[in-house]
Amino acid sequence: MSNGYAHAEGAPSMHGHDHAHHPALQHHFSTMSQQREAGVLGMWVFLLTEVLFFGGLFITYTLYRMWYYEAFALASKSIEIVPGLINTVVLIGSSLTMALSVRSAQTNQRKATVNWLIATIILGSVFLGIKVYEYALKFEHHHVPGATFDFFGHAEASGEGHEAPAEGVTMGRDQIQRTTQIFFSLYFVMTGLHALHMIVGIVILFIIAWMAHKGRFDSEYHAPVEMTGLYWHFVDIVWIFLFPLLYLVERH
């Protein structure tokens, strides 16, 4: 496998005429900027399908939240805010390092490109680690939907008293049991699919970091870094909406 589209025979010049093709220019494109533009557009069309994919989950969340608002408020209040907030900071931080990696590629800084990609991988892994801790807590508290689900079990066992019936809650105990399970089902599906996207993203980041290390990118050609960035930022945006919807219901 040949590494190094560029650099091998000196930097390709785009100042010359059409004879000086960049080695990464595919034959069906006329110029590098046309090729880049097509790539960006294609990536956004893919992200459009992703927006609709997560959109389906968000509308499901919205409907159930309207039907069982009390359950959503109770269940959301049982989630610890701090790990979620730390993860928000970590993930937005990883978006910053990702953006800086793309910028380094744009400005021909190979080493910085690789380093910012590695920083992004580390921050993404920290996010997933905290997510594992949060999931473990849910299993411990019997807040995982299924046969062992018991919304009150943990609060009663640890002597924190009844989380319900709290003020204004009109549902009976078994109604709360059933409807809070819906919240936690959505919690696991939404954060789970988000985490799956991050795992895929981290695998891609490793590949891109390796390609960058091998000198495959320069200021003319760094589409893989840029596309990975678009994907990573999209995943960040999903979390920006998930955080208030899952962690911050009726906190006052």
Query: What residues make contact with another protein under the rule CB under 8 A?
Result: 14-15, 32-33, 36-37, 40-41, 44-45, 47-48, 51-52, 55-56, 58-59, 62-63, 66, 81, 85, 88-89, 92-93, 95-96, 98-100, 103, 106-107, 219-220, 229-230, 233-234, 236-237, 240-241, 243-245, 248-252
Distances (CA, A) of 245 to 34, 58, 187, 191, 208: 40, 9, 10, 11, 33
Nearer to another protein, 55 or 153 (CB): 55
H helices present in the chain, as ranges: 32-67, 69-77, 81-106, 110-140, 153-157, 173-213, 223-247
Rounded to the nearest whole angstrom, what is the least distance from the CB of residue 146 to another protein in the complex? Answer: 27
Which are the contacts of 161, defined by CB distance < 8 A and separation ≥ 6?
155
CB of 120 to another protein, least distance (A): 12
Strand-pairing partners, residue 8, are 10
Q: Which is nearer to another protein, 15 or 27 (CB)?
A: 15
As a whole number of angstroms, the distance between CA 148 and CA 158 comes to: 17
State the nearest-atom distance from the C-beta of 14 to another protein, in Å.
Answer: 6
In whole angstroms, how close is the CB of 46 to another protein at the nearest point?
10
Min dist. Cβ of residue 242 to another protein (A): 9
- DSSP helix/strand/coil, 141: coil
Tokens encoding 159:
């002597």
Which of residues 14 and 126 has its CB atom nearest to another protein in the complex? 14
> Residue 177 or 219: which CB sits closer to another protein?
219
Find where tokens 């097509």 sit: 38
Please tell me the total number of residues recorded for the chain in this structure. Answer: 252
215: left (phi over 0), alpha (psi -120 to 50) or beta: left
**Of 14 and 144, CB closest to another protein:** 14
From the CB of 202, what's the least distance to another protein, in Å? 18
Closer Cβ to another protein, 144 or 245, answer by number? 245
